Structures are given as C-alpha cells and as structure tokens.
Homo-oligomer: A and B are copies of this chain.
Amino acid sequence: MLNKALLSTFLLLTGLFSVAQSSADSLMFKKISDEIFMNGQAYSNLRFLCKKVGSRLSGSAGAAKAVEETARMLREAGADTVYLQPCMVPQWVRGAKEVGKATLTDGKTMPLNIVSLGNAVGTPVAGITAKVIEVKNFTELEKLGAEKVKGNIVFYNFRMDPRYINTFKAYGEAGVYRGQGPSKAAAMGAVGVIVRTLSPVLDDNPHTGATRYDEDKPKIPAVAISTNGAVELSNAIAAGKVKSIYFKTNCKMLPDVLSYNVVGEMRGSTAPDEIITVGGHLDSWDLAEGAHDDGTGCMQSIEIIRAFKSLGIKPKRTIRAVMFMNEENGLRGGTAYGDIAKKENKKFIMAMESDAGGFTPRGFGFTLHPSQKEKLMSWKPLFHQYGATEFNEGGGGADIGPLRALGTALIGLNPDSQRYMDLHHAKTDVFEAVSERELNLGAVVMAAMAYMVSEYGL
C-alpha cells in the first residue's frame, strides 16, 4: 500500500499537485462514488434500454427509439441542453434467419450454426452450394493459390489465442479474418466465406460483426459459425466427410437513412467553450440487447451528468455526454461529431469513451500530447481505491477517434477484459450479463476523470 506521507512528500516535491488539492479531490471522488452507488440510475436506465428498446442497429426502429429514450434520460439526468446531431447512416438488414448445412459423403447432413456477418451481401435466393476449403490463416490461403480456391467456400478457422491476458489483443489478431477475409477470398475466386466466431469460449453462439468489402473485389456472402460449429466442421473436413456446403443468407444493404447522435450538455461555469466529451455508442447489433456493447458506455456517460447534477457540481468546463450512432457498421456518428466539432468555435480538450464493456474497471488508456501525460499521471493515485490502477498509453475509442485531428486528448475506459469476448456481438449480450456494481464502478471512475479534467484542464 502506498505510504501516505511518502506520497504527500512526492507530490509536494514534484509541485504538480498540492497536497491540499489532492485531499479535496479525494473527498470529491468519494462523494461521486457514494452518490453513484447509493442513487445511481445507470443500471435501471440500462434495463430500460435493453428490455424496452432492445437491439438498435443503425437505421432500425430500435435505433430511432433509442435516440428518443436516451434524450429523455439525459433530460431527466439534469443536462442543461439536450440535442440531436443528424447523420446519414447505412441500413443493413439481416432478413430471415440464416440456414446452413454440410452435405456429408455418407449422404447425411450436418447443420451449420451460422449468422451473416454485418454489412455482408446476401446469397441468391437459392443459397450457395460449393465445396469448402479450410484454412487456418491468410498464409495458408495464399499458399493454396487461386486455382484451388476458385468456386469454393473458404472456411477461416482461426482460433482466438487464449494466451493473451488482454482479450482485445486476441480479438485484434483474429478480427482480420472477419474484416478482410471475404474480400481476400473473393479476390481468389471464392464464392462464399465462413469465419470462425471471434470468441475464446467454446459454445453454440455465432457472433456477428462488420465485415469490410474492398470496393474493387467481388462481394461474396460471408457468415460466422459458432466456435463449437467450427470445431465440428473442421473435424468433419479433416475426416474427409464433407462433400459440400450450402448456406443461405437473406441480408442486404438498404439506402442510407437519417439518424442522430444524442448529446446532453452541462455548461461549464468558467470555461464553457472548453468541451469535455464523454460517451459510448448507441447502436448495437441486431442479435442481442447490446448491453455491454455498448449500452453500458451510454448509461455510464449519462450517469456522469446525473451524479454531477445531484451533487451540485458545477463543472468549470462543459461536459457533453454523447450517444454516438453507428459505431458498429459505419462510424458515421463519430465522424459527424468530429466534422461538426471542426466547425464549432470551441476547444475540444478531452474525449473519453467507454466501449469495452461494463465490467469492473482496471484503468484507462490514453492518446495525448506528451506534455499532458505528466498531469494525467499525477492524478493516478486518486483512482487507486476505485480499482482504476492502470494508466496506459494508447487507447481512446472508435467514436472519439476523429477528434484526434483537433488535438483532443483521448481517453478510453479499460474495464477487465476477461468476459467481454464471450458475449461480444452475440445473443448473450443481454442486461442479465451486466453487474450493477461493476457498471457503477465504471461510471465512478469516468465521472472522477471528467471531474479532474473539468477542474484542472489537461
């Protein structure tokens, strides 16, 4: 445990941060924490968002309802101003449930537990039927060459590496098969793609998520198969039992439609034109309730406003809680926010996003100017007792990324990552998977960080 006397001495010597100030801030952190644990609304708001609104993919009725409802929540939380920022969003629809099967050499069939990847094209009405080629990675695919790939379905059976302690590292490594796999296979003449679900656990839940077609390649249908399904299919292929694969998907991309970011502001008392953005993304995949991804980030952001208002905190700088639209399959909301920011005659000093699940916080990742680092690090001891002990370089969030061009310091909340990938983009990402206390603790450290930047700048 940190020796308090030593800490004080250190702080005095560094001159970064007076002891009296630290003590007052520590007291404020405790007030914020007590308020959120005693009277927090993030959990009940999340229940509403998950159970009364539900899934809310960009352009869907759910997304439209989520815009309305979070605007209401922001007003109820006590925001001075609540407004919508328009943006055109893609409207991808899944259509009827996907069907897939493998026809085996003994004449039997093996059902495939699949879902279309987001943004993918659908199959022809008759579905597609072809031989399957399994590869573990792109290197194997390239070794096969176009001759062998042409006319077939490519099955990317890349297992997420369970050895990374931070599951986002494994996700990053495996995610390229979902993102780039279809176009890479199409470039070699494949007619369809099956990607092993991005999850470290073996179960029967295929996870969706966006794929990204290269515009100069044929767009071929692409599905994710559950991890259990991937193992089963791979075993059958290895045993020489698979004659052909059939699958049918019914998804399509409709024309862009109008949607919105939802913004709630608490105007700064002394520097209202210095903006602190806190947020999460409002859209979520259609398979589930979008609880951890990213209802929790939205509800935590609203909670910051509510807690400040309830405690009578008048932030020196303006706090904006933003529900970004379309993070999942277009980033149009984040892009629009950045574009509008460029035109506002304001200083966007810091933006913080919570989009890694509503799990117990472990710390923050930051992308900022080296001169800002010392100040941020001097605050670290204050966060210790709230579990946010890791202050790491690198991080922020997809939606706030465009603000970096304005020199905005970016901060990402880093919750514990062990459980996130189990349910990410799958039907298991539901309200029941969220712990009230973990959600609240994340809100506490976000609110505390917003408070510090509001008081002292960066």
Contacts and interface: CB of A to CB of B under 8 A. Distances in A.
Interface stretch (A249-257, A279-287, A436-444): A436-444
A80 interface: no
Contact of A34 (B34, B163, B387, B393): B163
Interface in A179-209: 200-201
A434 to B, nearest CB: 10
B418 A165 contact: no
Contacts of A362: 387
A441 B418 CA distance: 9
Nearest to A419: B435
A33 B165 contact: yes
A360 B416 contact: yes
A38 B438 contact: no
A393 B38 contact: no
| A-side interface size class | 20 to 34
Contacts of A438: 418-419
Contacts of A162: 37-38, 437
A208 to B, nearest CB: 21
A1 interface: yes
Interface string A371-392: 0000000000000011101111
Contacts of A393: 1
A17 to B, nearest CB: 19
A436 B418 CA distance: 9
17 contacts: A1-B392, A34-B163, A38-B162, A162-B437, A165-B386, A165-B441, A200-B436, A200-B437, A201-B436, A360-B416, A362-B387, A387-B416, A389-B389, A418-B435, A418-B441, A422-B435, A422-B437
